[in-house]
Structure 1
Amino acid sequence: MITLHQLRGAAAVARALPRRAGLVSKNALGSSFIAARNLHASNTCLQKTSTAEVSSILEKCILGADTFVDLEETGRVLSIGDGIARVHGLRNVQAEEMVEFSSGLNLEPDTVGVVVFGNDKLIKEGDIVKRTGAIVDVPVGEELLGCVVDTLGNAIYGKGPIGSKTLRRVGLKAPRIIP
């Protein structure tokens, strides 16, 4: 027969285990708490439940919890004007990193100045902005000779995409023309 004291101890161990192991998400903590609470609520069933069964149930709840956590760093547009969006919340953004809006960087402690390479008419205050982790690359090479392109190297002359396979970072120094 399992006692209420043993059940509380098993629940405490189950809640502490994922934090110590570092392998299970916060969802597992919630699952073990729910399992312990459900076992505690059905006290009549506990009279026939052994300690091994309780720990087996708790283990199934912990191991069955979703361990994948997809975190995105996001911020909000404070203001937009003249092709510059002032964004709050992207603390770890890198210089020249591309960001995505929901519809040159200037780094300060809490806000980021984002150069908008596309149409800024769709961006408004309060829009969510998220990091991509990718630094801006543009196509380079002889395929671009005679092409009309936008600031990201996309063709805007109506003849389809440019066939350049070579990409270079925007912030790199341009090659010398005259040796």
Structure 2
Amino acid sequence: LLGRVIDAMGRPRDTLGPIDAIAEHPIEAEAPSILNRTQIFRPLATGLKAIDAAIPVGLGQRELIIGDRQTGKTSIAIDTMLNQARSDVLCIYCAVGQRGDAVARVIRALKDGEILQRCIVMSAGDEEAPGLSYIAPYAAMTMAEYFSAQGQDVLVIFDDMTHHARSYRELSLLLRRPPGREAFPGDIFYVHARLLERAGQFGADIGGGSITTLPVVETQAGNLSAYIPTNLISITDGQIYLSPQLVRKNQFPAVDLDLSVSRVGSKAQNRTLRG
């Protein structure tokens, strides 16, 4: 699968021929027990000083990237992937509800950065059925678990969870389930929590690898109190907030340090930056 572009069912979307599966795993799996986890202490270098110095991300952490449209959320995620060219971290980019040209730009950037051969790009575009958009993040996480069980460190990007929530809402309304706030079903928190809880730094008894997730979520007019953003903020281990005001000032990355936090903190920070 490494170096390939696939859909949510694992079917190739590139021109490199069929994929011969050597194993099958269910896309739904229980999150590892706390007894199978270890402390997060190894840094994941993003290559962005504003993040590595002030909001350090550790291997096994779940760090939300949040902001309005066109604030650079995907750019931060892709820059982080490109920076892993100097490490042994494998990368999975899961595009949910993204346009085909946007996914093509990501693939081109990974090729130019000479890291595509250590990445999997999964695309469930905006033209796909909502069922495929819904299962895509779970399929991507299953692939990450396969590698982490072999002792590998894996970085997973979910771009973005807003589209995933909308896909689940569409499915739920078609199934005539009772809607809740903003017409989302009542179990939307559980849907995202059971996905992101599968990430972590794992003990040697289950392979000793790690899964780091950078879920992306879009806000409207900087509203951090909207339903899906607040859910994801409470599930994850911190957030990187990108400010539209800083974008208008041509500051990139537009990281608002006052509203950004890493709950792992200096435990996963590079010693040089820790001082």
Could you say which structure has the greater relative contact order, defined with CA pairs below 8 angstroms and 6 or more residues apart?
A: 2
Q: Which has the larger radius of gyration?
A: 1
| TM-score class, shorter | under 0.3
Q: TM-score, normalised by structure 2?
A: 0.14
Structure (1/2) with the larger strand percentage: 1
Which structure: greater helix fraction? 2
Instruction: Output the TM-score relative to the length of structure 1.
Output: 0.19
